[in-house]
């Protein structure tokens, strides 16, 4: 039986470098939060932590250009569309929720990759950025204590 490998790419008139805090594979550290901050109801959130995707090294253009970030879960996703906790011996009933700051809304990952709001590289500029938030999310009325981990792949697409 033969299997298929699919390759996708794009030829574009613009190439830029994308990073978070200067790294292409960053680690975003969330603060420790009290169990009581999440207890009491599904949907409670805590530990909001901002991270910025930086776009640099672009060739300045006479016109503004639009970008869109796409996030895809690496690992299981909860029924609420959040990153399930993948930490060994980790907290139960706690997930990680991605939030699109520009759209002021969560980005559920339950139906596959989530697209964030577009952001703009202004005319004659070589850099721009977009800010997002990750936060703890209570998936249960009684979450337990322990470490919380999750991961996403990200890609920035030229629009």
Tens of pLDDT, residue by residue over 149-158, are 999 999 998 8
d(CA 102, CA 119): 9
Q: How confident is the model at residue 15 (pLDDT cuts 50, 70, 90)?
A: confident
- Domain coordinates in residue numbering, the chain: 17-23+43-143+152-158
d(CA 3, CA 55): 36
Looking at residue 4, its pLDDT comes to: 65
Tens of pLDDT, residue by residue over 92-127, are 999 999 999 999 999 999 999 999 999 999 999 999
Which fold, 17-23+43-143+152-158? Answer: Immunoglobulin-like (2.60.40)
Nearest-CA neighbor of 132 among 48, 50, 74? 50
Retrieve residue 34's tokens.
């009290």
CA triple 37-41-46, angle to 5 deg:
30
Least confident stretch, 13-17, 100-104, 116-120, 130-134: 13-17
């Amino acid at each position: 039986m033969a299997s298929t490998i699919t390759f996708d790419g794009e030829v574009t008139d613009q190439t830029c470098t994308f990073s978070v805090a200067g790294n292409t594979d960053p680690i975003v550290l969330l603060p420790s939060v009290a169990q009581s901050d999440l207890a009491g109801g599904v949907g409670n959130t805590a530990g909001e932590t901002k991270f910025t995707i930086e776009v640099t090294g672009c060739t300045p253009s006479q016109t503004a250009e639009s970008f869109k970030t796409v996030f895809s879960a690496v690992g299981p996703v909860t029924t609420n569309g959040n990153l399930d906790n993948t930490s060994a011996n980790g907290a139960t009933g706690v997930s990680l929720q991605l939030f699109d700051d520009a759209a002021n809304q969560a980005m559920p990952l339950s139906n596959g990759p989530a697209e964030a709001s577009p952001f703009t590289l202004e005319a004659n500029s070589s850099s721009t950025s977009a800010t997002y938030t990750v936060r703890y999310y209570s998936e249960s009325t009684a979450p337990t204590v322990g470490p919380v981990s999750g991961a996403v792949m990200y890609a920035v697409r030229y629009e």
